[in-house]
Structure 1
Amino acid sequence: MRLYHFSEEPDIELFVPRVKANRTDMPPVVWAIDQKHEFTFYFPRDCPRIVYTRSEGISAEDEVKFFGLSKSDTIITVETGWYKIINETTLYRYMLPGDDFQLFDETAGYYIAEQTIEPLSVDPIHNLIEKLIAMNIEIRFTPNLYPLRDAILNSTLKNFGIHRFQNARKV
């Protein structure tokens, strides 16, 4: 199993467990993402974004509302103010030893380890938007994420992620 950690730092030699700001109820851990979900991290660290995927159980009304005429099964929406930053960012994908991690959230592809982790390798990732497009992921830009977040939270969508929302523009 391939697990990754994404960073804007090119030279991390060790990943030391730490308490995550929005998970203070957990012990210090190192976080990783599986290969299937790695695309959700093709963004600068602080970039607020909403990712949702077409899945069973969505109502016909919500199918039209959230997917409309799109042929893509995955849609990522980002605030327009992040467009230039995304285009100029180089990320570094650190490959981590999968045997050292335990599954934390299967739907999101998150894994955790309670010990210090040495990366196996690191690769720079450029042209983030082009990589997403090549994966048939639809990318949408909007001035503000709040209306979409509120609509999703009151919908039949079950497979979604709201990332770094604390950095979204205030309503």
Structure 2
Amino acid sequence: MKLLYHFSEESNIKLFKPRVKHNRQDMPPVVWAIDQEHEHTFYFPRNCPRIVYRRNEGISAEDNLKFFGITNADTVITVENHWYETIMNTTTYRYSMPAESFKLFDKTAGYYISEHEITPTEIKPINNLLKRQVDLGIDVRFTTNLSPLREALRHSTVSDFGIHRFENGM
């Protein structure tokens, strides 16, 4: 059975009700979840802008060098410098979600949606967010501004990337 989660900085959500997401106004109200393989992309404060990209088949040698440089990590997450302290001081809560009513929304990102109210089966606090990334072998990078990376990825052969909460960036 697929493990699905929802992440929040709120520690006491008893029932998830479908809602319209701020950046998905064209969709009906849904409850969002993420699969276990991609959960690390939410080991950040909710509003923290970040870019996550993974090494993929078909990436050119030039783009491999440009985006992965001398790292052997297959996943790189980049955030803006001024979020460092907030990341270090944030506890996020991982809600385990029963998978039965969810359907796959985005395979690349690991997103699932449900149009039903969902009662979580477990709540677990997640601390030491950067250490968790490091322990997973993820290359975490900091920059002054995400815009140049966003534009470079959009015009590259890297096809496996996600841009989270970009509107909160510099």
- 1:98-117 matched pairs, under 5 angstroms: 98-117=99-118
- 1:23-38 matched pairs, under 5 angstroms: 23-38=24-39
Counterpart Cα distance in 2 of 1:153 and 1:106: 19
TM-score (norm 1): 0.98
1:100 Cα deviation (Å)? Answer: 1.5
| Unaligned runs of at least 5 residues, structure 1 | none
The answer for the alignment partner of 1:97 in structure 2 is 98
The answer for the alignment partner of 2:122 in structure 1 is 121
SS in 1 for 2:118: coil
Q: Which residue identity lines up with residue 136 of structure 1 in the other structure?
A: G
Counterpart Cα distance in 1 of 2:108 and 2:150: 18
Q: Which residue identity lines up with residue 64 of structure 1 in the other structure?
A: L
Counterpart Cα distance in 2 of 1:154 and 1:57: 14
Counterpart Cα distance in 1 of 2:107 and 2:158: 17
Deviations 1:142-161 (A, max 9, x none): 01001100100111110000
Verify: 1:152 aligned to 2:153, yes or no. Answer: yes
Counterpart Cα distance in 2 of 1:60 and 1:160: 17
The answer for the alignment partner of 2:86 in structure 1 is 85
Counterpart Cα distance in 2 of 1:50 and 1:167: 12
**How many equivalent pairs are there?**
169
1:115 Cα deviation (Å)? Answer: 0.7
Deviations 1:90-129 (A, max 9, x none): 0000000011201111111000000100000000000000
TM-score (norm 2): 0.99
1:21 Cα deviation (Å)? Answer: 1.0
Misfit runs of 4+, over 2 Å? none
The answer for the alignment partner of 1:41 in structure 2 is 42
Counterpart Cα distance in 2 of 1:123 and 1:100: 22
Cα RMSD of the aligned pairs, angstroms, is 0.4
Counterpart Cα distance in 2 of 1:155 and 1:13: 42
| Unaligned runs of at least 5 residues, structure 2 | none
